Amino acid sequence: MQQKEKKKITCRARSCTSFIEVQPKIVNFGDTNVGTLRSLPIKIYNRSELSAKVELRFISKVLNCIRGPYEIPARQSLEVKIDIYPRKVNPDYRKQITVVNHLNKKNNQNIEVQSTNIDKHGVTFHSLFYRIITSNSTNFIDLGMLF
């Protein structure tokens, strides 16, 4: 009959949760003319040692960006461009963008977008005299390559 041996094996494990950080927390476009496109970047940092999956969520006719989902490798960052195209005068425009961390819902981040939408060139008055109707109900017309 064989005798059983007891052995002690020491093990270590490291676990982590997906953790992101967004900078800046406030994106301030300042004075922005109606009918003028402006862009500012935000940076999404993956602070954990596993890849993160994030997505930007908001509802707006004025703001635009590539919403994702994005996969950010461990300990790296991603820059996302936020575009604003004001359609009417609003001296105190505010909108919240939520950066959703799909791997850790408790770590969702919020960004506040601020802008003073002005009409320096009288675009809103001028637009009273015409209307653009497009087949796909957007406010933009693509004229293709002009040059």
Residue 87 lies in a domain: yes
- CA Rg value for the chain: 24
Residue 8 lies in a domain: no
Residue 78 lies in a domain: yes
Residue 106 lies in a domain: yes
What ranges make up the beta strands (E) of 52-144?
52-57, 63-64, 70-72, 77-84, 90-101, 109-118
Q: In this structure, what CATH number is given to the domain that contains residue 99?
A: 2.60.40.10
Mean of pLDDT values over 52-79: 94
Domain span holding position 28: 20-129
pLDDT tens digits, one per residue of 85-109:
998 899 999 999 999 999 999 999 9
pTM of the entire predicted model: 0.74
Is 100 strand, coil or helix? strand
pLDDT tens digits, one per residue of 107-129:
999 999 999 999 886 666 555 55
Residue 6 lies in a domain: no
Under the phi-then-psi rule, with left for phi > 0, alpha for psi from -120 to 50, and beta for the rest, what region is 137?
Answer: left
Residue 10 lies in a domain: no
What average pLDDT is seen over the chain? 87
Given the DSSP bridges, would you call strands 26-33 and 109-118 parallel, antiparallel or unpaired? parallel
Residue 140 lies in a domain: no
* Span of 11-25, 33-47, 62-76, 129-143 with lowest mean pLDDT: 129-143
Residue 69 corresponds to which amino acid? P
Structural domains counted in the chain: 1
